């Protein structure tokens, strides 16, 4: 099988040489802006931007207030900062957005308009802050839908909210964007783009209000965004070839830790003529979408789409969880092979792993179905939005090839159609349908794994994780039969000694899918050679666990230490935990490394304090000297605290939910 390598662009690279904040701050009010929501502040805002640009760059600041404005343009080395409580609101007169010499009646596309915020051939630009940019889209949407009702499929031309063309080193961080006339953020022919922590909202029936649409752009990182819109949440486009990159005008794009609430999904296309390569989508949550994972194009606008990876994705109420088709807005029914041209869609080398999805059954969500009907009747005059597990559909003359689905669990009213496809592998794929068969194959070469692949969890840590003295045995009882758990934790080990004794090497050799890692008890002072410093050596060893787990293709899950029941001597019923410095380091690393965190320390401390000292004796072992062991757990305690781990896992690693029981299995049923 062909090996693929996906490039993840670290945020640090995207910030390299960024110096927009070096030359001072320019307050738009000092240049005449009123911010009262009535006065037109365009001239003052643009003058501020121009002065900032002439000074070599800096911060253009909007303090709290509502700033009504026509289109504005940015300069290099400039940060547009919207403070919390600040709103930059577009005027809603279409004449304000037309380019010179253009008319509304003669407009053919978005290029006839000026974007609300634009920039071209710029370097080192940013839009940041906790404020709001409002595109005043309602005025545009109503005539757009009216035009589409008269001419099905017609898209009324409208301006973009933010359009950046041929720019380098872009940051858009923290802001909220609402109600764009059409697409909200469009980096076009740009490089080194970071979009992080941005919220984008428009009504679910607002037409063509895409969230983020990178076009012919490279080295793009989209992270921790919430996108709730009326069309594609993200759409990676590549409408024209780039001579410098003939097979991939759009390349090296990552989407991580995002939440999509309404919209048409995580899309590639429909314009793919310039090629799309090296796209990675990880740890995202989709709800109430038309499609989840979507690749769309058609004859006459297609190109090469390859090296695409999706992993660790959960979907709820997504009508088509996997929707990959070379028939955008067309039907494959009765189609025959045609001549292959440079504009024929080619999809290959696609990986979809660790996906849990629920598509609504027919008859469910009555209100949602009525909304579908009204929207699609008036907007498209076409059909009720389909509901199915998915479609993987190529062309007769150009089959989709080399696609792997692994650890995919979908519940849907109908199954998945695979048509005009070859070298399709389904490993541990489960599709539950209300009607019909799970798979419908037509001119498709599909190989399903003969035996179901068992996911493997490896537990690594000290005695409080072991089966004999910790929560390990109880944890295994919460696992379903199609996942394997191997406990490599050992009594008396610290983050340092576990590695130095070679035990970590042994754990890595087991090739687990997930590694739960908990150290701290034996890292504390007074443990001799085992002790580590929470701010230096402990951090270094824990970082090594994370990096080396990722290096073998597995997922590290950090677990803060089970609380040691060190009761306050004043009788307050509170616990004074000596483990806090180590716990804080683990939490910091989880955030810095963007890995899942199970905060067992906080949960176990809360539970113990709630129960009180006497009740906690029930799950505490008795030492040889008949003293209460306030560190370890008996069999009952193992189950109690394992339940806390499982609850945290459901939140931190949603794709594991199908493998976790609601109640522990009886001991006799354990197969581990």
- Phi, psi (degrees; rounded to nearest 5) at 473: -65, -40
Catalytic pick from 75, 264, 601, 632? Answer: 264
Q: Which ranges of 26-173 does DSSP label H, i.e. alpha helix?
A: 42-54, 138-150
Catalytic pick from 228, 231, 513, 599? Answer: 231
Q: What pairing do the DSSP bridges indicate for beta strands 58-62 and 72-73?
A: unpaired
From the number of C-beta atoms within 10 Å of its C-beta (0-12, 13-18, 19+), residue 543 rates as middle
Alpha-carbon distance 294 to 268, whole Å? 6
Alpha-carbon distance 376 to 368, whole Å? 12
Q: Which ranges of 195-325 does DSSP label H, i.e. alpha helix?
A: none
3-state secondary structure of 514: strand
Comparing C-alpha atoms, which of 221, 210, 219 is closest to residue 190? 219
Alpha-carbon distance 144 to 255, whole Å? 30
264 labelled catalytic: yes
Q: Computed from CA positions of residues 435, 437, 439, 444, in that sequence, does the dihedral angle turn out positive or negative?
A: negative
How many CA within 13 A on the CB side of residue 371?
Answer: 14
Q: How many CB atoms lie within 10 A of CB 627?
A: 9
Q: Within the chain, what is the greatest distance between any pair of CA atoms?
A: 93
Q: How many CB atoms lie within 10 A of CB 487?
A: 21
312 labelled catalytic: no
Within 8 A by CB and 6+ apart from 184, the residues are: 135, 160, 161, 162, 177, 200, 202, 209, 210, 211, 212, 229
Burial readout 211-224 (b: 16 or more C-beta within 10 A, e: otherwise)? bbbbbbbbbbbbbb
Residue listed under structure tokens 């085992």: 530
Alpha-carbon distance 206 to 155, whole Å? 12
Token representation of residue 134: 């409002």
- H or E element, residue 613: helix 613-616
Alpha-carbon distance 293 to 310, whole Å? 8
Is-cis flag, bond preceding 270, omega within 30? yes
Q: What angle do CA 63, 118, 210 make, to 5 degrees?
A: 95
- DSSP assignment, residue 596? -
Q: Which residues are catalytic?
A: 231, 264
């Amino acid at each position: 099988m062909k090996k693929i390598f996906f490039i993840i662009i670290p945020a640090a690279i995207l910030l390299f040489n960024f110096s927009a904040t070096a030359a001072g701050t320019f307050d738009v009010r000092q240049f005449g802006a009123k911010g009262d929501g009535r006065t037109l502040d365009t001239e003052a805002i643009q003058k501020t931007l121009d002065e900032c640009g002439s000074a070599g760059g800096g911060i253009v600041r909007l303090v709290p207030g509502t700033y009504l404005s026509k289109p504005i343009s940015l300069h290099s080395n400039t940060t547009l900062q919207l403070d919390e409580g600040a709103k930059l609101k577009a005027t809603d007169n279409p004449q304000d957005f037309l380019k010179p010499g253009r008319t509304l009646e003669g407009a053919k596309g978005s290029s006839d308009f000026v974007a609300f915020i634009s920039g071209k051939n710029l370097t080192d630009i940013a839009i940041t802050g906790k404020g709001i940019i409002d595109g005043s889209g309602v005025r545009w949407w109503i005539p757009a839908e009216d035009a589409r009702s008269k001419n099905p499929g017609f898209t009324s031309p409208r301006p973009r909210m933010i359009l950046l063309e041929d720019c380098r080193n872009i940051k858009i961080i923290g802001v909220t964007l609402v109600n764009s006339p059409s697409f909200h953020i469009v980096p076009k022919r740009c490089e080194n783009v970071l979009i992080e922590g941005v919220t984008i909202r428009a009504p679910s029936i607002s037409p063509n209000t895409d969230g983020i649409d990178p076009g012919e752009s490279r080295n793009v990182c989209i992270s921790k965004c919430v996108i709730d819109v009326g069309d594609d949440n993200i759409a990676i486009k590549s409408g024209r070839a780039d001579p410098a990159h003939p097979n991939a005008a759009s390349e090296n794009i990552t989407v991580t830790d995002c939440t999509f609430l309404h919209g048409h999904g995580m899309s590639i296309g429909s314009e793919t003529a310039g090629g799309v390569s090296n796209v990675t989508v990880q740890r995202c949550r989709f709800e109430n979408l038309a499609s989840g994972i979507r690749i769309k194009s058609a004859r006459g606008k297609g190109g090469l789409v390859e090296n695409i990876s999706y992993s660790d994705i959960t979907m709820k109420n997504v009508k088509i969880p996997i929707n990959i088709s070379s028939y955008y807005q067309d039907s494959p029914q009765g189609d025959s092979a045609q001549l292959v041209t440079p504009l024929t869609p080619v999809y290959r080398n696609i990986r979809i792993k660790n996906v849990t999805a629920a598509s609504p059954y027919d008859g469910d969500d009555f209100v949602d179905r009525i909304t579908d009907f009204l929207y699609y009747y008036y907007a498209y005059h076409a059909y009720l939005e389909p509901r199915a597990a998915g479609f993987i559909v190529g062309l007769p003359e150009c089959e989709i090839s080399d696609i792997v689905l692994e650890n995919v669990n979908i519940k849907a009213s109908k199954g998945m159609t695979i048509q005009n496809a070859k070298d399709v592998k389904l490993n541990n794929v489960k599709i539950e349908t209300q009607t019909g068969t799970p798979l419908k194959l037509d001119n498709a070469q599909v190989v399903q794994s003969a035996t179901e692949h068992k996911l493997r969890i490896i537990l690594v840590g000290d005695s409080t994780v072991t089966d004999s003295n910790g929560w390990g045995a109880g944890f295994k009882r919460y696992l379903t039969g199609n996942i394997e758990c191997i406990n490599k934790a050992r009594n008396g080990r610290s983050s340092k000694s576990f590695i130095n004794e070679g035990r970590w090497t042994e754990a890595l050799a087991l090739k687990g899918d997930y590694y739960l890692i908990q150290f701290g008890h034996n890292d504390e002072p007074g443990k001799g050679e085992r002790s580590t410093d929470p701010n230096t050596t402990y951090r270094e060893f824990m970082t090594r666990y994370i990096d080396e787990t990722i290096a073998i293709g597995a997922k590290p899950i950090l677990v803060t230490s089970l609380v040691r029941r060190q009761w306050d001597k004043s009788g307050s019923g509170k616990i004074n935990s000596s483990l806090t410095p180590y716990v804080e380091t683990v939490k910091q690393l989880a955030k810095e490394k963007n890995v899942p965190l199970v905060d067992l320390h906080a949960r176990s401390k809360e539970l113990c304090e709630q129960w009180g000292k006497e009740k906690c004796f029930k799950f505490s072992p008795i030492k040889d000297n008949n003293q209460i062991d306030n560190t370890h757990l008996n069999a009952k305690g193992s189950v109690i605290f394992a339940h806390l781990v499982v609850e945290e896992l459901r939140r931190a690693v949603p794709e594991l939910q199908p493998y976790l029981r609601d109640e522990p299995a009886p001991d006799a049923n354990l197969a581990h």
